[in-house]
Amino acid sequence: MKFDGKQMPKIVTAIPGPESERRVDDLARSECPAITARRARRSRETGVSQDPIVWRRAKGANVEDVDGNVFVDLTGAFAVAGLGHGHPKIVEAAQRQSEQLIHAMGDVYPGEAKIELIQRLAKVTPEPLTHSILGLSGASAVEAALKTAAVHTGKPGAIAFWGGYHGLSYGALSATAYRENFRRPFLSQLNGAVHHIPFPDTFRPPFGMSRDVSPDEVSHAVLSHLRQMLTGPATAGEGIGAVIIEPIQGRGGEIVPPPGFLAGLREICDDFELVLIFDEIYTGFGRTGTMFACEYEEVTPDILCVGKAMGGGFPLSAAIGREEVMASWGLSSGEAVHTSTFLGNPLGCAMGCAVIDTLVEEDWPARVARRGEQIRKRLEVLARRFPEKIGRVRGRGLMLGLELINDRKSRDPNTQLSMALMDHCRRRGYLVLPSGRHGQVLALSPPFMVTDEQWEGFFTALEEGIEGAG
């Protein structure tokens, strides 16, 4: 069989589901204890079996596991494979670079691929964002941004949003407020000067507002709350130097803020001289139908954090800022005060250059916008058909989610349905993941080139799953 990324799923071994004969305790004793023990624990908690799928190879939208099962990956492997798995131009760049130079001396004697990548980033990011600090994970880009803001303003504090996900290393975790249990064991070690405020979610409005409020009212309420915090004594507003936000919340559940909210945030940051950080680690590089999500609202941050899709599968990230803000680090005294051994790794940078070139040359952001509209319409048809189960279609471009509810009146999150659908789709050969603070959103962040036939197959499986859920 040709393995070119356009295959329909092919399941050759039984993919265990809740009715599986394989018991979770057997799984915990099997060959991959670290993975399976975690899955087994989760299975016990949710009642849904989650056998690990051990990947052997992946191409385009397809993944093949060690048993020969072929899946269609609608997760983009955590939104990394925007251009698909193993895109030929990225593979070629990696091969060429690995023959030439695999490791250099990042900040001291960089490889030329690092310089090329930084130049390309300056070209594709919104106008005044020109100066990059590279990193190896989303979290490290967020930490670079937060440190830059502290150096620039001399203030240790920041405002972040409930439901936001910025990574799990200590600095990033201070801003992350996706789930309490991620933070609880480390609370005493986190930056206590980071304060969280509600994200303007119009489906579950904050501050006990009525469900019928307009998006403008939600936006206004959150922005007013922030202004009050910054002027009032309660949070020592004078210690706050930055605001960090995902322009569309990703793991929080594909939540798009009301139109004008980001512009309002920009205005507040200008008024209070705060550094505005957009975390576009999830939304960046074409995912939402523009190169970066902030372009949609024409709001430019002071620092933009990117990662995930940036390296085409290689761990790579960047915090890209305005010259004036990044210059706050001052001239090097010979020893970098913020660096790491593998920073600017030539292999990753060459792959990153190939990602940017391919996105631009093949016009992917505009193609994603068109495709995203088609898929959204299909999801909205489903939402109308199952109004008691699907509360809202969320997201933009090819970062979409189905908000699953227990019933229309309460809008209570239906985590069980989302887990059951994930399981059902997996057994039909489609990989999807849950998102949202309760795991109640069925999230789609597929490779951009999923075919019509693959999408049709997924919708058939999804419909069946929802119908079967009773």
Chain residues in the site for ligand PLP (CB under 6 A): 137-139, 142, 165-167, 246, 250-251, 279, 281-282, 307
Residue number with CB closer to ligand PLP (16 or 138): 138
SS3 79: helix
For residue 166, the minimal CB distance to ligand PLP (Å) is 5
Q: Which is nearer to ligand PLP, 279 or 302 (CB)?
A: 279
First to last CA, the chain: 37
User: Counting runs of H as helices and runs of E as strands, what totals does the chain give?
Assistant: 15, 15
Minimal distance in Å, beta carbon 435 to ligand PLP? 9
Q: What is the dihedral of CA 444, 198, 284, 370, to 10 degrees?
A: 50
16 or 439: whose CB is closer to ligand PLP?
Answer: 439
Identify which of residues 137 and 288 has a Cβ nearer to ligand PLP in the complex.
137
We find the least distance from the C-beta atom of residue 249 to ligand PLP, in angstroms, to be 8
> What is the edge-to-edge ordering of all strands in the sheet holding 390-396?
390-396, 399-404, 441-444, 433-435
Taking the least distance from each CB to ligand PLP, the nearer of 49 and 345 is 345
**Shortest distance in whole angstroms from residue 149 CB to ligand PLP:** 16
Task: Report the C-alpha gap between 30 and 19 in whole angstroms.
Answer: 19
Q: Which residue is nearest to ligand PLP (CB)?
A: 138
Closest distance of CB 289 from ligand PLP, Å: 17
Nearer to ligand PLP, 206 or 315 (CB): 315
Shortest separation between residue 132's beta carbon and ligand PLP, angstroms: 16
Return the number of the residue (49 or 435) whose C-beta is nearest ligand PLP: 435
The residue among 354, 352, 367 whose CA lies nearest residue 450 is 367
Q: Give the whole-angstrom CA distance, residue 370 versus residue 356.
A: 20
> Given the complex with ligand PLP, which of 239 and 315 has the nearer CB atom?
315
Token readout for 170 is 């200590």
- What's at 262, amino acid-wise? L
Structure tokens, 121: 């980033």
Rounded to the nearest whole angstrom, what is the least distance from the CB of residue 441 to ligand PLP in the complex?
14
Question: From the CB of 138, what's the least distance to ligand PLP, in Å?
Answer: 2
**Distance in Å, CB of 18 to ligand PLP, minimum:** 27
User: Looking at beta carbons only, is 5 or 436 nearer to ligand PLP?
Assistant: 436
